[in-house]
Structure formats: structure tokens, C-alpha cells
Amino acid sequence: MSASPIVLTHPLVRHKLTRLRDKTTSTAGFRRLTRELSLLLAYEATRDLALVPRDICAPSGPMVGEELDGKKLCFVSILRAGNGLLDGMLDLVPSARVGHIGLKRDHDTLEVSEYYFNMPGDVPGRTCIVLDPMLATGHSAAAAITRVKEAGARDIVFACLLAAPEGVAHMQEKHPDVRIVTCSLDKKLDENGYIVPGLGDAGDRLFGTR
Ligand code: URA
């Protein structure tokens, strides 16, 4: 059974997302908002990390605190727009490793093929958080997650700024074990595969291209 996507409803997220969608937001503003939102996504995506007790001396005396049990993280960016989510994630978890996957889609056959794959060596022991700002058809995300699983990952979260119902359904069919964390579940895809209402082309807005 696949879980429903986790949608962040915090007022800060809703505020920043509105600014992000606004087509008058500059490239610099878009980048800054993406970084801030990705930090908030990382907060939610890491909610299930296990804790262990730790004895410490607080100023008022000894106490038993908690710390992460040492389970390591790997952020996996789906190029190129996934890179926009990396900095905010790394602000929160600076010790995480980073993998990259480059995928391209044939316009006629719609087949996804891989042009780049680089992951740290110890993936099986890490929770992998796969990053792409837009979960549109879900084909690239599902293909990337298949590759991450082939590299040995067992515990995987997919984090995005926006998700379309079509993309969520595809992911739930292909990878029901993968939790999806997003800032918004939007209405639909348009005839060109763009999310509606969406925010346009995330890569172009992040990098100031086109
Ligand atoms: N990729 C984007 O950048 N935007 C969309 O709306 C869909 C896919």
C-alpha cells in the first residue's frame, strides 16, 4: 500500500510558495525562495530519523538528551533543477553525501535515458532523499528512483516543491514504498506536461535560462 504524499501546510511554506509561483519574482528571488523551501522540505523529509539517548552535562546538572543514531543521509539531485534544492538541504544536514542523476527524455518516444550517474559508494546504509522541484508526469522521478534502488538504497524519500496528481499516481504505481514530501499538490498537468497552476519551468527560473 502506498502512502499519500505529505504536503507541507505551514504558513511560511504557503507564503514562500506564493512568492515563488509569482512570475514577476526575479531569478535571484526564485533561487533564494527555493533554498528556503528546500530547508523546510528537508525538515519534513527527515522526520523519521531514529534517535538514541545521550548522557550530557547541562548547566543545571546531568541529563539524558537525544541525538541522531548515526544513520547517514544522501541527497540525490535529478539534474539539473534538482540542484536548486541542494543548498537548503545541505544547510540543514551539512554532513550528507550528494549523488547526481542526469536523465533526458526522447520527445517522440517519451523514453527516459540516463546520461549521468554518480553516487557515493556506501548508498545501502543511507537514507536517500531524491530531489526534483517538479513531480510532473513522474517518469523521470520513477526512473531515477529505480537507479537509486539498483545502487542499493532501501530507504528512499522523494522531495519536490510541487506535485501533480498524475506524477503522484505514477510514483505510487512504480515505487509504492517511497514517501513523497511536497509543498503543494497542484491541480493537473497541461497538454505540454507543465504543472497547473505550477510555477513555470523550474530549471529555467532557477538558472535564468531561456
Ligand atoms: N518541469 C517544470 O520545470 N515545470 C513543470 O511545470 C513541469 C515539469
Which residues touch 42 (CB under 8 Å, ≥6 apart)?
Answer: 88, 89, 92, 93, 129, 159
What is the pLDDT, as a whole number, of residue 4? 93
Q: What's the first-to-final CA gap in the chain, in angstroms?
A: 41
Q: How many A from CA of 199 to the centre of ligand 1?
A: 8
> The complex's ipTM?
0.96
105 CA → ligand 1 middle, Å: 13
Query: Percent of the chain at pLDDT above 90?
Result: 92
Residue 183 has pLDDT above 90, yes or no: yes
Domains of the chain: 6-48+72-201 (3.40.50.2020)
Residue ranges around ligand 1 (CB below 6 Å): 134, 136, 193-195, 198, 201-203
Minimum CA distance residue for ligand 1 atom 2: 201
Q: What is the pLDDT of residue 199?
A: 98
193 CA: nearest ligand 1 atom: 7
Would you please indicate which residues are annotated as catalytic (active-site) residues?
105, 109, 201, 204
Tell me the average pLDDT of the chain: 96
